[in-house]
Amino acid sequence: MKRLILVAWILSSVMLCAEEGMYLIQQVPPKVIENMKARGFQLAADDIFSMKQPSLAQAIINFGGGTASFVSPKGLILTNHHVAFGAAQRQSSADSNIIENGFLAKSMLEEIPAPGYKALILEEVKDVSTQIFKGIKKDLPPQKIYKVTEKNIKEIIKKEEGKSGNYRCQVRYVYGGLHFYLYKFFEVRDIRIVYFPTRNIGEFGGEVDNWMWPRHTGDFSFMRAYVAPDGKSADYAKENIPYTPQRYLKFSARDLDENDFAIVTGYPGITRRHLISTEVDYYINYYYPEGVRLYKKWIDILEEDSKKDKDAEIKNAGNIKGISNSYKNYTGMNEGLQKLDLMAKKKKQEEELLDFLDAHPDLKAKYGDSLPSLMKLAEEEKSLKIKSRMLGIMQRASKLLSSAIDINKWSIEKQKKDIERDPDYMDRNIPDLKEQIELAQRSLYIPSDKKALAFFISESLKLSDPHKIAVLETMIKDKSENGVAEFVKNLYAHSKMVELEYRMKLFDMNRTELLKLNDSFIDFADELQKELDKLKDMQEIIDGKMLLVRPHYMEAVIKQHEGNIYPDANGTLRLSYGSITGYDVKDAITYLPQTTMKGIIEKDTGEWPFNVSDKIKSLYVKRDFDTYMDPELNDIAVNFLTNNYCTGGNSGSPIINKYGELIGTVFDINYESLLSDYYYLPDITRTISVDSRYILFVLDKIDNADNILQELEIVR
């Protein structure tokens, strides 16, 4: 295993395409810093990341599945409207619909809890590869290799988090397991909503405009981080005080022009640039096409109920928003990857690697078997992925089934010592698990839950022989649509899982007590768990093999490119840099890099999702723009494009100018560049952000949020 920890990827000696990189925040290459400075960037490397002094890294927050940033010394947080949407949905009702009408706390006393939200603030990063690989030998059985690695990770995290309750740790690998890093965060558990714009600002254009350019969306919101009076992490309590960040971002109201320098720092989720052709084939020919089909029907189910009932509309809103986002993403990805012919490009890359190894006999002797071995493993994993994905979607579709599976699994895992449990069910995760079961009630609409579960069970029963889910085949005798509907009807009829108090009572029961209940949902979950356990065992065997094979392959690729590659996104803090710029869509069509209020007025139809408020129209007619007007555009700038490299998880990331000031917040990428997760196309890959001046304009002229404006440090 020693070869796995030989670092062959230091990038400081090479210069990459400036806008393409997605660099680990703790290892931005010196050459990249030089390039940024040549473009006018005025901060030093230690201002970006340092463990010795406050840096930009401490101003950027891992937040609610996206990113956020501190923008005041009193713990004020800026993120996207769509990142904060779950908090607004959980606090909404027919009588107080924050989703539609927005929310503004005029003082800290009026700020309301954001259930389920936590802020993770980076404090430390360190290489733990040697500790992860401890005890691993090539001759160990593959599943044992996986288990040893998993246990090493659990022990590192347990030790680093300690017993204070202040810290949250993650271990992430790069280059398929060539290197492992520990990320240590201070965790803030008390997050409150400060400002949430009305839906016709925060989500202007809805799904019609989603992933598209030109955009005119005020996709931003403000929240606040709170801690205990002694500064320690604490759950929500009235006596808690605002968190004082080590670093926060100044808010720029400066003019923005084409070609202006911009950096993005955030927590991008997943890119798949280093997958091989066999793995890409799964995504092109199954994952995306099947996702488009399934998600469209799922959306239809939820929307049908939402049109009939206001309660359903509010409770289903978050689900519809999330699924619709994925649906359009998958549609664009499907189109883009087919058009690009990614398979052909991947096979060409693999041929080039083999040619490189042939030209270097010493490297061929060492790495010649890496690609064939990885291809064999990837083919083996395909069938497993299809079945696992269907089971995963089924759990997500039904909140009751998801809760039942967690409750049942917890009854099994709690019998073990903490270090021997499934990582998701260790003591550190139980409060979050319990909270998710509680929060499910706020978005639980039983008719939709039933229909969605029935639909995905029916789809699972249509899987071909290698992918069939045995428990469903056994339990459901009548596999017709009516038969499945009857099965689901009985599930709900013979369970009290719809009651939150009942679910929480079950969560605290031991294994014997739980099974004695003969609750239909728990019994179903218990049977499904047997299938999930089999899949987990099979996946662990593959993952154990992958721990030996993929790093070996990535070493060969790194040698081929002389270190001139960067790791795929994996939810860790990254930096990309670029500039404000438009792009050519196709022959004779060019998109400019900035949009204005004129575009909002032009899109107005008076109906959702293009319903413009009378106040905005009045301000526009009067040209009451105050100091927020862009001098060249002669209008209020709304959104802008840059050629920074971003992906899912970057939502809410601050976009920063050469002075280190916030000029906007990232909320999307353009439709044409969705495939950049797999293959970077510099001419069309663009990131879309809300202009900081539009944020200030909305706060000031539309919602009179004077308290927020006074708290921001605005630079003009």
- Residues with a catalytic annotation lie at 82, 219, 651
- Compute the distance between CA of residue 466 and CA of residue 46 in angstroms, rounded to an integer: 53
What amino acid occupies position 126?
Answer: K
How many other C-beta atoms lie within 10 A of the C-beta of residue 529? 18
CA dihedral 684, 690, 691, 695 (to 10 degrees): 180
CA distance 668 to 653: 10
- Of the candidates 29, 19, 28, which has an alpha carbon nearest to the alpha carbon of residue 680? 19
Contacts (Cβ under 8 Å, ≥6 apart) of 416: none
| Residue 485 near residue 409 (C-beta atoms within 8 A) | no
Residue 550 neighbours by CB under 8 Å, 6+ apart: 176, 177, 374
At 414, give phi and psi (nearest 5°). Answer: -65, -15
> What is the enclosing helix (H) or strand (E) of 144?
helix 142-161
* Distance, C-alpha 38 to centroid of its chain: 32
| Positive or negative: CA dihedral 380, 386, 391, 396 | positive
> Which residues, including other chains, have CB under 8 Å from residue 291's CB and lie 6 or more apart?
326, 327, 330
- End-to-end Cα spacing for the chain: 55
For 82-110, b where at least 16 C-beta lie within 10 A, e where not — what string?
Answer: bbbbbbbbbbbeeeebbbeebbbbeebee
The dihedrals phi and psi of 192, each to the nearest 5 degrees, come to -130, 150
Nearest to 83, CA basis, from 62, 97, 100, 101: 62
